[in-house]
Structure 1
Amino acid sequence: MVNFDDEVDVLVAGSGAGLAGAYTAAREGLSVAVVEATDKFGGTTAYSGGGGVWFPCNPVLERAGTDDTLDDALTYYRAVVGDRTPLELQETYVRRGRDLIEYLEADDRFEFHMYPWPDYFGAAPKARTDGQRHIVPAPLPAAELGELREHLRGPLDTERLGAPLPDLLIGGQALIGRFLRALATYPEVRLHRNAALTELVVEDGAVVGALIERPGGTMAIRARRGVILAAGGFEGNDELRRRYGVPGSARDTMGPPGNQGHAHEAGIAAGADTDLMDQAWWSPGLTHPDGRSAFALWFTGGIFVDQDGRRFVNESAPYDRLGRAAIDRMRAGELTLPYWMVYDDRDGVTPPVQAPNVSFDATEKYVAAGLWRTADTLEELAEVIGVPAANLVATVERFNAMVAAGADTDFGRGDEAYDRAFSQGESPLVPIDRPPFHAAAFGLSDLGTKGGLRTDTGARVLNGDGTAIPGLYAAGNTMAAVSGTVYPGGGNPIGASMLFSHLAVRDMLER
């Protein structure tokens, strides 16, 4: 028998978007303990530049006059996800998100705005190319967090480049800030930092609490209603990445350092079944002078070439699709890291990347590290990046010809709405014809792993025979992603974390 040091109704592991579960429990009169493995609250969500959620037909969108329907949204979602995940789980995500936003907006501490962001598979049935399925949290003055301000994770520029903390929280920081601000008003909420859930306590087949590792030793917390595992993925753990076959490395993930997979391992030890364990939310990674390749998007020029000097992808495609294209080529032995973005001098030596997520450091540091290379001719550039000159010249000539013709017949760059999201609807095709020519090194990055514990529509964790484990729930990247092996739209990861942690508490209340 375990001697418990504390007892609450609900124990939540993780302090990212899964705080929606903690908030729901507190608002419904339950006592809550949140345990965060690091010294900062917010998880991967706090790094998100937008902090958006993909919740079709929610009240924010309805007030903006959307003509979307839940049936259309579900048609789209099922078309891109397929039967890789349970259809009832997909339907729960698509249909219940608007209920969560309505629930949050009943509290004036939460505010969201429509932020048009096209669906990531624009050619799929019932895709919305006008972005009417996406909302973001309203900005929040940092001062409104009071003492909690110093415990909020990020932004990335602060953590990696030493930039000063902003006075106004936006995106994921605003979302986490709003949850923290609300939770601080409930007396029966305990927020623990430097507290990693490492083991679940099981009695008679039911999860009744957990063991928490803290600097001063182990703390045991009993959870009368249930434990929600929403502690992110295991992207920061190279050993687990190798075990489950996740491409890339912990060095290049955008997840925070605490995402080591402890909650995954605790759930598995308690009998949980898993799925999608080799999957992540992928992206191209611009390589920085510290050696890390960081998520990058919004390319206003340039092409990606492989080790043979040949173009291999639509550079304007959604980031997860770009990352997966790179992985497919790597597995086929047709792409090695780094691969290169080749571009001309119309904007100088800095690559045409408008959203590097980690801001550019000094140009001379990239040049000194060999990450940005320049030559007067394409033949010379090929030599300095180690690719066949004839191939690179032919690749650029072919690309320029397609630009002149106005159509990318090789990879369809510009064919879908997302491709044109960063060019105000205009063609994203830009020629490479102004010397000198440049190349920037890219690697493979990710926004976290997406494999985890299998759940039902109430976020209850399932064992190998499909039976729910009493008292155990999962959400976010600790849960096997409802979207399977694809990324249907911006805000899908944060949205799923918020929704299923909320539904977990709803299930506890019903039981």
Structure 2
Amino acid sequence: MTTTSETVDVLVAGSAGALAGAYTAAREGLSVAIVEATDQFGGTFAYSGGGGMWYPCNPVLVRAGSDDTIDEALTYYRAVVGDRTPAELQETYVRGGAKLIEYLEQDDHFAFKILPWPDYYSSVPGARNDGMRHTVCKGLPGERLGRFQGLVRGPLDHERLGEPQPDFLTGGRAVIGRFLWAMADNPEIAAHLNTSLVELVVEDGRVVGGIVECDGERRVIRARRGVLLAAGGFEQNAEMRAEYGVPGTASGTMGAPGNTGLAHKAAMAVGASTDLMDQAWWSPGLVHPDGRAAFALCFTGGIFVDESGRRFVNESAAYDRLGREILNAVRDGTLGTPYWMVYDSRAGEQPPVMATNVSFSPTSEYEAAGLWVQADTLEGLADKIGVPAANLVDTVRRFNELAERDDDEDFGRGRESFDRAFTGGASPLVPIDTPPFRAAAFGTSDLGTKGGLRTDVDARVLDDEDRPIPGLYAAGNTMAAVSGETYPGGGNPIGASLLFSHLAALHMAASR
């Protein structure tokens, strides 16, 4: 039997994008309870090196002189996403980010700056290739967080490699830190770590609270205005991945450990409808000595080859686009796990990857695990990675010819802005001609699942007949992604999560 332990206006499950909802509700005069399944705040946000928000025409960009328009941004977003998600949901996101930044800048706890990051479909009408749709939080010292000091998750090197946790919060940790700082002195905000929402309480067809579990004990937190579910995806739940056909494995995800789908299940149990449940935010993953593939991007050289020893993809494409091509090749049976990046020794032993997200371990550890191999000849390298030697030699010869012309006729590498974003505009077509020749093992990684609860423009969860379930809201990766089966630009997942959490809280604040 469970007992009611507290009653608040708003119950929030999750502590990444969910914090925008908690903050907004409190700022609008509501009492809030936050429940976080793990012992730290931040979720997957806290692993993001940039923590970017894709918010076209927001005040930070306007002050810097951006000539972008919402109409151009909408043209781009709709062209990329298509009709996979409702047009009104897409428009709410594209228009709403600027208003959220304006709302937050009224509070001195928040400060932003521009981190130029080109849109991921550079050739689509309306694309912004100068990166002027991407905004990040300025960093801050952890000591400002008051009662929440030392409780922000990440970064990945701390959790996976045991590196000291930085006292200064940057990237996604800065986003989390600024919301916690803004809420630290508010007595109307209760925060419960190691506490999972496992069921929803429904009375007369309305969600009026949640059953939460901590240390094996269950209790009820009642919510007068509503419950916001923004507890991440279900990427860490192997059974749910299998049930919904999500490729890859839990060991290869970059999702936070508490992302097991409990909020999804609680909502579905009360009639919530879902969409995109087989989808995730994809990327290639460099395989590290612990056997886990970790999100990697910014490839400044090298080529990927399939089981026949042939190139099959634009290696410098935006990571979700690249990840999807890799998954297609796996489905077609032309690509195994692991697959290989082939490169040479012009820059040393390490593969040409600028952003590994989990730092490189010593080369000897990769070599001992059979993850990095080398040979004096391409034929010898082909033997070590198990591909036909003649094909690999021919593939490298062809690639070197394309590199000399700086024109990838085969896969278009270097033809879009993103392809050259990390080489200072220089060609990403770098010849492979300096022995010894090398190869590094790659696998499939993801930044979390993106399938979840269907919502309207106020983030209200919908049932199978498109009716809002009274008192129930969703955002982040617990919500079916507004971007559908695409990833339009850096900062889309974080931006959408913050915005729809904010909109949910505004709707609850306006409800009586």
TM range (shorter): over 0.9
Q: 1:325 is matched with which residue?
A: 325
Query: Would you say 1:275 and 2:275 are equivalent positions?
Result: yes
Give the Cα separation in 2 of the matches to 1:110 and 1:76: 29
Segment of structure 1 superposing worse, 135-144 or 487-496: 135-144
Does the 8 Å contact 2:17/2:475 carry over to 1? Answer: no
Give the Cα separation in 2 of the matches to 1:138 and 1:449: 27
Cα shift at 1:146: 3.6
Give the Cα separation in 2 of the matches to 1:354 and 1:488: 22
Cα shift at 1:185: 1.6
The percent of aligned pairs where both chains have the same amino acid is: 68
Post-superposition Cα deviations, 1:432-472, rounded to whole Å, max 9, x if no partner, equal 00000000000000000000000000000000000000000
Cα shift at 1:510: 2.1
Post-superposition Cα deviations, 1:84-139, rounded to whole Å, max 9, x if no partner, equal 00000000000011000000000011001011100000000010000110000001
Q: 1:109 is matched with which residue?
A: 109
AA at the equivalent of 1:88: E
Post-superposition Cα deviations, 1:283-308, rounded to whole Å, max 9, x if no partner, equal 00000000100000111110001111
SS class of match (1:373): strand
Give the Cα separation in 2 of the matches to 1:167 and 1:3: 39
Cα shift at 1:147: 4.4
Q: 1:229 is matched with which residue?
A: 229
Query: Would you say 1:169 and 2:169 are equivalent positions?
Result: yes
Query: Would you say 1:358 and 2:358 are equivalent positions?
Result: yes
Cα shift at 1:142: 1.8
Post-superposition Cα deviations, 1:160-187, rounded to whole Å, max 9, x if no partner, equal 0011111321100011011111111211
Post-superposition Cα deviations, 1:168-218, rounded to whole Å, max 9, x if no partner, equal 211000110111111112111001100011100111111000010101511
SS class of match (2:210): strand
Does the 8 Å contact 2:230/2:479 carry over to 1? Answer: yes
Q: 1:137 is matched with which residue?
A: 137
Give the Cα separation in 2 of the matches to 1:307 and 1:192: 49
AA at the equivalent of 1:336: G
Give the Cα separation in 1 of the matches to 2:447 and 2:94: 22
Query: Would you say 1:444 and 2:471 are equivalent positions?
Result: no
Does the 8 Å contact 2:22/2:32 carry over to 1? Answer: yes
Post-superposition Cα deviations, 1:144-167, rounded to whole Å, max 9, x if no partner, equal 224423211011000000111113
Query: Would you say 1:373 and 2:373 are equivalent positions?
Result: yes
Give the Cα separation in 2 of the matches to 1:491 and 1:60: 15
Give the Cα separation in 1 of the matches to 2:150 and 2:97: 31
What's the C-alpha RMSD, in Å, of the aligned pairs?
Answer: 0.9
Provide closer, same or farther for how the CA distance between residues 202 and 482 of structure 1 changes in structure 2, counting only shifts above 3 A.
Answer: same
AA at the equivalent of 2:370: G
Query: Would you say 1:260 and 2:260 are equivalent positions?
Result: yes
Query: Would you say 1:341 and 2:327 are equivalent positions?
Result: no
Q: 1:178 is matched with which residue?
A: 178
Q: 2:389 is matched with which residue?
A: 389
Superposition TM-score, scaled by structure 2 size: 0.99
Aligned residue-pair number? 511
Q: 1:62 is matched with which residue?
A: 62
Post-superposition Cα deviations, 1:381-408, rounded to whole Å, max 9, x if no partner, equal 0000101101111110000000011100
SS class of match (2:219): strand
Does the 8 Å contact 2:288/2:366 carry over to 1? Answer: yes
Does the 8 Å contact 2:142/2:150 carry over to 1? Answer: no
Give the Cα separation in 2 of the matches to 1:450 and 1:457: 17
SS class of match (1:151): coil
Q: 1:504 is matched with which residue?
A: 504
Give the Cα separation in 2 of the matches to 1:202 and 1:332: 46
| Paired residues for 1:185-196 under 5 Å | 185-196=185-196
Cα shift at 1:354: 1.1
AA at the equivalent of 1:84: R
| Paired residues for 1:146-157 under 5 Å | 146-157=146-157
Give the Cα separation in 2 of the matches to 1:190 and 1:146: 14
Give the Cα separation in 1 of the matches to 2:384 and 2:476: 43
Post-superposition Cα deviations, 1:213-243, rounded to whole Å, max 9, x if no partner, equal 1015112100100000000000000100000
Q: 1:423 is matched with which residue?
A: 423
Does the 8 Å contact 2:56/2:68 carry over to 1? Answer: yes
Give the Cα separation in 2 of the matches to 1:185 and 1:76: 41
Q: 2:459 is matched with which residue?
A: 459
Gaps of 5+ in 2: none
Q: 2:308 is matched with which residue?
A: 308
Cα shift at 1:2: 6.5
Post-superposition Cα deviations, 1:12-43, rounded to whole Å, max 9, x if no partner, equal 00001220000001111100000000011000
Query: Would you say 1:86 and 2:86 are equivalent positions?
Result: yes
Cα shift at 1:3: 3.9
Q: 1:74 is matched with which residue?
A: 74
Give the Cα separation in 2 of the matches to 1:470 and 1:69: 35
Q: 1:239 is matched with which residue?
A: 239
Give the Cα separation in 2 of the matches to 1:14 and 1:67: 36
Post-superposition Cα deviations, 1:375-430, rounded to whole Å, max 9, x if no partner, equal 00000000001011011111100000000111000110000000010011121110
SS class of match (1:327): helix
Does the 8 Å contact 2:13/2:34 carry over to 1? Answer: yes
Query: Would you say 1:15 and 2:43 are equivalent positions?
Result: no
Gaps of 5+ in 1: none
Q: 1:487 is matched with which residue?
A: 487
Give the Cα separation in 2 of the matches to 1:340 and 1:2: 53
Give the Cα separation in 2 of the matches to 1:66 and 1:100: 18
Give the Cα separation in 1 of the matches to 2:378 and 2:149: 50
Give the Cα separation in 2 of the matches to 1:278 and 1:376: 43
SS class of match (1:5): strand
Cα shift at 1:487: 0.1
SS class of match (2:341): strand
Give the Cα separation in 2 of the matches to 1:263 and 1:146: 29
AA at the equivalent of 2:219: M
Does the 8 Å contact 2:117/2:490 carry over to 1? Answer: yes
Give the Cα separation in 1 of the matches to 2:448 and 2:471: 26
SS class of match (1:85): coil
Q: 2:212 is matched with which residue?
A: 212
Q: Structure 1 residue runs of 4+, over 6 Å off? A: none
Q: 1:36 is matched with which residue?
A: 36
SS class of match (2:94): helix
Give the Cα separation in 2 of the matches to 1:421 and 1:489: 13
Segment of structure 1 superposing worse, 450-459 or 197-206: 197-206
SS class of match (1:282): strand
Does the 8 Å contact 2:381/2:439 carry over to 1? Answer: yes
Give the Cα separation in 2 of the matches to 1:167 and 1:233: 28
Query: Would you say 1:478 and 2:473 are equivalent positions?
Result: no
Give the Cα separation in 2 of the matches to 1:145 and 1:395: 54
Provide closer, same or farther for how the CA distance between residues 167 and 320 of structure 1 changes in structure 2, counting only shifts above 3 A.
Answer: same
SS class of match (2:398): helix
Give the Cα separation in 1 of the matches to 2:2 and 2:321: 47
